[in-house]
Amino acid sequence: MKRFLIGALVVLALFAATPLVVHNEYYYFAAYVVLQFVVLATAWNILGGYAGYVNFGSGAFFAVGAYIAVALYKAYALPLGLQILAGATASGLLGFGVGLLTLRLRGIFFSIATIAVAIVLETVVVNWTYVGGAKGLPTLRPAQAPFFESYTVWLFFVMAVLAVVAVSAARYVETSWIGRGLRAIRDNEGAAECSGVPTLKLKLGAATLSGALMGAAGAPYAQYLSFIEPTSTFSLNYAVNALAMPIIGGMAHWSGPVIGALLLGTVQQVVTVTISSEVNVLVVGVLLVVFVVAAPEGILGLFRRFFPRKR
């Protein structure tokens, strides 16, 4: 635990120090997206990987965070930290609500509900003129960035902090009794319940935490783009990536989604710049199919197979 915390702080310190070396703003713009996917993939994995409840609506949780943040920013000019907190709270409640309605049932009902929620919420936002409705809303960033010279670098650092928070939370869940309970639920829910695991409570907790982290990832989105509109915010891309990255990286360990997000996120950024932004979607699709068929335990599983280690 101590080693992990020190590692996390070192990573953050390195991120904070990058402006001394890297000056091209575009790298921060691109790295922000990769880190955002680290948060999304890690958040998805808490419910989808550990407990086995697949969320197809990650885009909606992300967008709720983004839109709550932008609405509060427009109304009260809330600082970024509070926007993130508000976005996380709203999406956490959304996770809890969807969970409460569907997690009593086993299997696929939760997944279906998440798709429905994404469609309903997108429709709501399209008709919500205060935040721009379908035509979108430009947002003016604050003139000055705290601690850093450019606001983009500041947002990059904020997303790095969120990534560390998300991974720490996932790791805590995974290594504690909570994680064992969630795994028991995934393996066999009936047996878990009969072993004293309060399955509904654990699933609701996981859905809330997962949703909250997705909302936190979405909250700085409008500041990042200086603009927000529903189609790209609710994009299916988020939902697909949020589940593809853990599957490709490996769902059993907290590092799986991180590896998947870093790898896939970076490849997508490179492909977007060098080939086209359409091809990057193809990359995700092809990799997902290959991994599901050939390496269902992801990169981590491949690694364990070739470098077996006594655990």
Partner 1 sequence: MNSLLAVQSLSKRFGGFTALDGVSIDIRKGERFGLIGPNGSGKTTLINCVSGALANDGGRIVFDGEEISRLPAYQRTRRGIARSFQITRPFASMSVLENLVVPLEYVVHRGSLHTADTRGEAMEILRGMGLADKADTRSNQLSQVELRKLELARAMAARPQLLISDEAMAGLSSNEVTEVLEILFKLNARGITIIMIEHIMQAVMRFSQRVVCLDAGRIICEGTPEETVANGDVQRAYLGA
Interface ranges with partner 1 (CB under 8 A): 177, 180-181, 183-184, 186-188, 190-200, 252
For partner 1, the closer of residues 203 and 241 by Cβ is 203
For partner 1, the closer of residues 196 and 294 by Cβ is 196
- Cα distances (Å, whole numbers) of residue 222 to 62, 100, 279: 12, 30, 25
Shortest Cβ 202–partner 1 spacing (Å): 10
Tokens of 181: 């309970």
Tokens of 180: 């064992």
Place of tokens 């205060």: 130
For partner 1, the closer of residues 74 and 180 by Cβ is 180
Shortest Cβ 191–partner 1 spacing (Å): 4
Shortest Cβ 195–partner 1 spacing (Å): 4
Dihedral (C-alpha) 96, 99, 100, 103: value to the nearest 10 degrees?
Answer: -150
Nearest to 233 by CA among 67, 29, 115, 120: 67
For partner 1, the closer of residues 140 and 194 by Cβ is 194
Shortest Cβ 44–partner 1 spacing (Å): 18
Tally of CB atoms within 10 A around 54: 16
Shortest Cβ 54–partner 1 spacing (Å): 16
For partner 1, the closer of residues 176 and 277 by Cβ is 176
Please state, in angstroms and rounded to a whole number, the distance separating the CA atoms of residues 65 and 189. 31
